[in-house]
Structures are given as C-alpha cells and as structure tokens.
Chain A
Amino acid sequence: MAASTSPPVDLSAALVLAPPTAAEWLVVLPVAWCLTFGALLVMMRRSIRLHPTITIVGLAGLVGIDALLLLEIIRNGPMTMVMGRWLPPFGIAFTADLTGALFAFVAALVALAAGIFSIADINDSGRRYGFYPLLLVLMAGVSGAFLTGDIFNLYVWFEVLLISSFGLLVLGSEHEQIDGTVKYGFLNLVATTLFLVATGYLYAVFGTLNMADIARKAEGLRSNAPLMTLAGLYTLAFGMKAAAFPVNFWLPASYHTPRVVVSALFAGLLTKVGIYALIRVMVMLFPVEREELSFVLAIAGSLTMIVGVLGALAQSDFRRLLGFLIISGIGSILAGIAVGGPGGIGGAIFYALHSMLVMTALYFASGIAMRLGASASIVTLAGLYRRHVGFAALSLMLCFAVSGLPPFSGFWPKVMLVKAALDIGAWWLAAVLLLAGFLTTIATGRLFLLAYWRDGAVAIGETPPLPATTLAPLAALTLLTLVLGLYPEPLLATIQDAAAGLADPSAYGESVFPGGWPQ
C-alpha cells in the first residue's frame, strides 16, 4: 500500500490533538484510581494485613477526587473526557454533569465509611477471599456507571459492579449466602440482559450510543421510531435493578445474608445505580416518553412504597426489615420521577442521596446491634439502650431520618416530593408518600421500642467491647444526615441545578460536542 493514491483526508474534524486539561482527567480518574488500587491489592494477596489500610487510603483519595470533580462541575458545568481523543459519537465519552458527580461523591463517602467499618467486620478469611479488591472494583464499576456518557459503556460498568457484588455477596459461603446469591445473581443477570436488549434496539433505531447524541436525535425520531418500547424496556430493566415493586423480590431474599458491611454497601450503592440510570435515561433521553409513562411510574412507585413498608412491618429480623425499607425508599424516588419537573426530579435526586447515607448507616447500626445483643431478631434483641446510650441515640436519629421526620435529611426530599405531587394535582400520590412515611415511622418506632427500649434479660456488665471503627462511621453518616437536615440550602441549590441540567441537556451536549452537534 506504499503507493497509495488516496486523496488527503482532513482528519481534524474527527480528531482533537490538544492534550486534555488537568481538570478533564478528573472525569475518568475515579474509575482508574479504584481499578489501580484494586489491582494493587490483588497483587498483594500475601500481605492481607495491609489490605484495610491501603483500601481506606484509596477510598479517602476517591472522596477527594470526587469532591474536586464536583467543585469543578459546579464552577464550570459538565465536563467530558474522550478516550484516545476520538470524538463522539464514535469515541466512548466519559461525561460528568452535576447529577452524576453528586451521586459519585456520595457513593465515595459511603464506600469510605464501609471501608472503615469493615476493619472490625471482615476477618482474615474474608480478607483472604478478596473482600478489599472486590470492594475497590465495585467502586470502579459504580463510579464508571455514574460518570459515563455512553449507554453501552453504562452496561459494561453495570456488569463490572455486578460481578464484584456477586463475589462480595457470597463471601463466607454460608448456606444462607449461597441461597441469597443464587436469587440475586440470576435475577440481576436477567435485568442486565433486558438492559442489553433495550440497548440493542436503541442502537438499531438511533445508530449511536452516546447519551448526548441520543438526547438530540430523539426529537427528530419521535414520530416514527418505537421510542416508547425503548423507554418501557429501560424502565423495566432499571426498575428491576432498583428493586421497584413487581420486580423487587431478589432484594429481601439476598440483602440480609452477607457480612454486615457488604449489606451496608449494597444498600447504599447498588439500587441507587439503578435509580440513577433510570433518571438519566427517562429524564434526559426520553422526556416525552417519561411524561407518557408517568402514570405507570406513579402506580409502580406507590405500590413499591406500600409493599416495602408493609414488608418491613411484617419482619422480625433487623436486616430483613431494613431491606424492605430500602424498597420503600425506591418507591418515593420513582414517585418523584413520575411527577417530573424541577420539584419531582430534584426531590428524587435528593431522596436517593439521602437514602444512600441513611440506609448504609442503618445497616451499620444493625451490625452493631447484632454485636451488642448477639442476635439479629427483634424478638430476642432487647435492652440495647442500656448497653450503649450513644449508639442508641444515633440509631434513633437514623430511625427519624429514614421516616422523613425533621430535623433530619429525609424531611426535605419528602417535602419536595409531596409539594411537587400536589402541584400537578396528584393528591393521591402525595397521600401515599405521607402514608408510607407514617408506616415507616411505625416500623422503625417498633424496632426501636423492642430492640433498644425494652428491658433486656442480660445484665449490663456483660456488654461486649465496641470497636471505635464501627461506631465512628455510623456517627459520621448520622451527623451528615443531621447537618443536611438542618442546613440543606447548599445541597438543595446544587440539586435544583442538577435537575435543571437533566431537563435541558444543552450544556451536557455542549460539553460532549464542543464544536456544536454534528449533523
């Protein structure tokens, strides 16, 4: 081919040769950082004593990177990093906007708390089986899912976090865990396969996988392409991931079986990745279809809330009760997506961030309760209040927060959601939101009454020691919910911007296609 006769082709339109700025690296750094630390820990499998320290350093670094990314996006708007400088729609773009950066930042906080909690919770055999590498690879998958700007890439990150979550779930190989993992594994695999089905159709219809490109092209294709089918498939796939009502049964079957810290991590991260993907696809890519599906979403959300909280009322196991509370929270977020508008979407994002913090902290509390009371059942747990007053106070605060009572972080999203529902005249949805909050208060109130308040048969002197590494992350997350409840203005303002950015993705598109959208 030496004597090529091809005319000179102007490649400048497809390639950008300028090096990326330092700030742009922040978009991919969370993923690369976690993968690097994960790989490092896999190589150091003989020195498992060092694993927790390295993991905590890595996760603290991740919190820092995500904080910098968030600040940068608040200042300059969405940012895009393109692999190999192949421009979208051909290259795979990592695009971070406010919503993605907020989720990634809170996810990193939760993971750091879980990393600290794990010191006392994961024994040597857990470390030998690779808890810490799996945790870091899970975080790589979660960060990738929050920061990617490409639908197929999102699928790949889903699979990365799924395979590491299988590993974490089955860590310990008890009968219960194997049973839970079978159900979790099969159902989640079916959900991601549905996601892939939807993505296959999406590519056939749009000929592109870049989210900004899809958001732009959707308008022109709406009249004659089966976009409603796509939106429906995505709703089903992500609804299953997020444990929404008719497809939620894998969650209570599996979340109470692994190590406490694994439950806490899953409660904080995995369902919220599904919710984030649902918000991203339904609000940003298919706004018209979201509007048309809103009644279905509202019904699904209401049923999820009620079924979740009724399930929580019927449980006597601390952690299974919490599993149903996660589901109930997902219902509130779905209600927000159904209502739409800045209030609904903002409320949904706020509720999701709040739920990440609170559910993780509640699972930490269940672990400490099991340690103090030597039981996981609220039939036999008793007298925790007398065992450890500080822990009981923190748990009570979390019970308030998850019920949506002031002055904790659950209050504001609930107000936003109820107000948004009333504003569009969906009084019944507002009523269900309030009823779910009321029933949650009863469920957590009964939990507190039985496990903490009731006089225990065991004498106070026998209290086992409580390592500071278990109490500190619990206290930190609880104080964070209190601070967010008392002073929500900065977060509220950011979330309003994030919701506005989803509703009008022109800044997002501008960041992916700096020279204007190609024809």
Chain B
Amino acid sequence: MEAWFALLVGIFFTVAVYLMLSKFIIRVLLGVAVLGNAVNLLIFTGGRLTREVPPVIAGDAEVLAGPAANALPQALILTAIVISFSFFAFLLVLSWRAYDDLKTDNTDEMRVAEPVNEPAPPLGY
C-alpha cells in the first residue's frame, strides 16, 4: 500500500510543480493547493499505512500487539490542513485584489514593485 501512496504523492508533486511554473497567478495558486495536499499525503504515508490493527493498546498489554499505523501524523496533518487552508484563502483574496488593482494575472507583467528599465544610479555628481 505504501508504494501506491508513494506513487500518488509523486503525481501530486508533479502536478503541483507543473502548475506552479505557470505565469498565471490562479494556476500557481492551484499548484500551491495541490502541493499542500501532496505534503499531507506524504506525512500520512510516513506514519505507516496499516488498516488492520488500531493504534490502541489493550488493557492487559503495555505495548501494541502488532505493527500498527502511527496516529500522530493524523494530528500533524490536521494542523497542516488548517494552516494551508487559511493561507490558501489569504492568497486567493490577495490574487483577486492583485487582479483587480494591477489589471493582470500574468506574473511577467506584474512589475510595479520592480519596474523594468529603471534609470541606473548616478555615476557622479
């Protein structure tokens, strides 16, 4: 099962990188969203994928009976999902504002902060 998940994570990463290399902000944003999910799946896979044994220690035992999935990655992913979701929301609004204000969603044309052909600094006075 790990191998399939690893493959899935790989596909997610490929898609995310492909989208993030785009010039258009909205595609970059989708790439960031996919990247976040790729990482979540990665952490999930890192905690072992075992369906059969729940990570609960029986009353008369001190350790788990067999190899069980690690429960902590789910807590980590929960944190990461909340964080990446809030960032996605912020960046979505920001992209909308940028499109509204700068009249473009092409990152090549977003040169307000770094204008093209700026005059060189003076060589002397």
- Residues of A whose CB lies within 8 Å of any CB of B are 4-7, 9, 152, 156, 159, 162-163, 166, 170, 173, 175-183, 185-186, 189-190, 193, 196-197, 199-201, 203-204, 207, 252-254, 256-257, 313-316, 378-379, 382, 446, 449-450, 454
- Min C-beta distance of B84 to chain A, whole Å: 8
Which residues B46-67 have CB closer than 8 A to chain A? 46-47, 59-60, 62
Given contacts A5-B60, A203-B47, A379-B121, contact A176 B90 (CB under 8 A): no
- Report yes or no: A190 in contact with B20, Cβ–Cβ below 8 A: yes
Taking CB atoms, residues of chain A closer than 8 Å to B62 are 9
Mark interface residues in B101-120 (1 if CB within 8 Å of A CB, else 0): 11000010011111000111
Contact partner of A179 (CB less than 8 A), chosen from B60, B72, B98, is B98
Taking CB atoms, residues of chain A closer than 8 Å to B95 are 182
- Report yes or no: B43 in contact with A175, Cβ–Cβ below 8 A: no
Complex: A202 Cα to B22 Cα, angstroms: 30
Interface assignment of B69: CB less than 8 Å from any CB of chain A: no
- Report yes or no: B91 in contact with A316, Cβ–Cβ below 8 A: no
Most buried by A among B20, B59, B60, B83: B83
- Report yes or no: A179 in contact with B70, Cβ–Cβ below 8 A: no
- Report yes or no: A166 in contact with B83, Cβ–Cβ below 8 A: no
Taking CB atoms, residues of chain A closer than 8 Å to B43 are 196, 199-200, 203-204
Mark interface residues in B23-43 (1 if CB within 8 Å of A CB, else 0): 001001100100110010011
Complex: A156 Cα to B82 Cα, angstroms: 11
How many chain B residues touch A (CB < 8 A): the figure is 46
Complex: A287 Cα to B23 Cα, angstroms: 39
Name the residue of chain B whose CB is nearest to the CB of A9: B62
18 more CB-based (< 8 A) A-B contacts, given A156-B83, A193-B39: A5-B59, A5-B60, A9-B62, A159-B87, A162-B87, A176-B112, A178-B112, A179-B98, A179-B112, A183-B110, A203-B47, A203-B73, A203-B76, A252-B114, A314-B120, A316-B119, A378-B121, A446-B121
- Min C-beta distance of A248 to chain B, whole Å: 13
- Report yes or no: A185 in contact with B91, Cβ–Cβ below 8 A: yes
- Report yes or no: B112 in contact with A175, Cβ–Cβ below 8 A: yes
Given contacts A196-B39, A200-B39, A316-B119, contact A163 B46 (CB under 8 A): no
- Report yes or no: B125 in contact with A450, Cβ–Cβ below 8 A: yes
- Report yes or no: B32 in contact with A186, Cβ–Cβ below 8 A: yes
- Report yes or no: A163 in contact with B122, Cβ–Cβ below 8 A: no
- Report yes or no: A204 in contact with B47, Cβ–Cβ below 8 A: yes
Most buried by B among A173, A189, A454: A189
Name the residue of chain A whose CB is nearest to the CB of B62: A9
Taking CB atoms, residues of chain A closer than 8 Å to B36 are 193
Taking CB atoms, residues of chain B closer than 8 Å to A181 are 94
Number of A-B residue pairs with CB-CB distance less than 8 Å in the complex they form: 122
Given contacts A173-B97, A197-B39, contact A163 B86 (CB under 8 A): yes
Ordered by A's residue number, 12 sampled pairs between the chains whose C-beta atoms are within 8 Å are A7-B60, A178-B101, A178-B102, A182-B98, A193-B32, A193-B84, A201-B42, A204-B45, A252-B114, A314-B121, A316-B119, A382-B125
Interface assignment of B15: CB less than 8 Å from any CB of chain A: no
Taking CB atoms, residues of chain A closer than 8 Å to B80 are 196
Given contacts A163-B86, A178-B97, A203-B46, contact A316 B113 (CB under 8 A): no
Given contacts A156-B79, A190-B32, contact A178 B94 (CB under 8 A): yes
Taking CB atoms, residues of chain A closer than 8 Å to B83 are 156, 159
- Report yes or no: A316 in contact with B46, Cβ–Cβ below 8 A: no
- Report yes or no: A170 in contact with B94, Cβ–Cβ below 8 A: yes
Taking CB atoms, residues of chain A closer than 8 Å to B70 are 207
Contact partner of A4 (CB less than 8 A), chosen from B46, B59, B73, is B59
Taking CB atoms, residues of chain A closer than 8 Å to B114 are 252-253
Complex: A281 Cα to B108 Cα, angstroms: 35
Complex: A304 Cα to B30 Cα, angstroms: 31
- Min C-beta distance of B115 to chain A, whole Å: 10
Complex: A145 Cα to B80 Cα, angstroms: 17
- Report yes or no: B98 in contact with A6, Cβ–Cβ below 8 A: no
- Min C-beta distance of B31 to chain A, whole Å: 9
Most buried by B among A203, A446, A449: A203
- Report yes or no: B87 in contact with A163, Cβ–Cβ below 8 A: yes
- Report yes or no: B94 in contact with A316, Cβ–Cβ below 8 A: no
Complex: A159 Cα to B79 Cα, angstroms: 11
- Report yes or no: A256 in contact with B113, Cβ–Cβ below 8 A: yes
Complex: A204 Cα to B43 Cα, angstroms: 8
- Report yes or no: A189 in contact with B39, Cβ–Cβ below 8 A: no
Complex: A186 Cα to B47 Cα, angstroms: 28
Given contacts A197-B39, A201-B46, contact A316 B90 (CB under 8 A): no
- Report yes or no: A316 in contact with B98, Cβ–Cβ below 8 A: no
Taking CB atoms, residues of chain B closer than 8 Å to A446 are 121
- Report yes or no: A179 in contact with B118, Cβ–Cβ below 8 A: no
- Min C-beta distance of B32 to chain A, whole Å: 6
- Min C-beta distance of A225 to chain B, whole Å: 13
The 9 A-B pairs of least Cβ separation, nearest first, read A204-B46, A6-B59, A316-B121, A200-B43, A179-B112, A179-B113, A180-B113, A200-B42, A159-B83
Given contacts A190-B35, A200-B46, contact A316 B86 (CB under 8 A): no
Complex: A163 Cα to B91 Cα, angstroms: 10
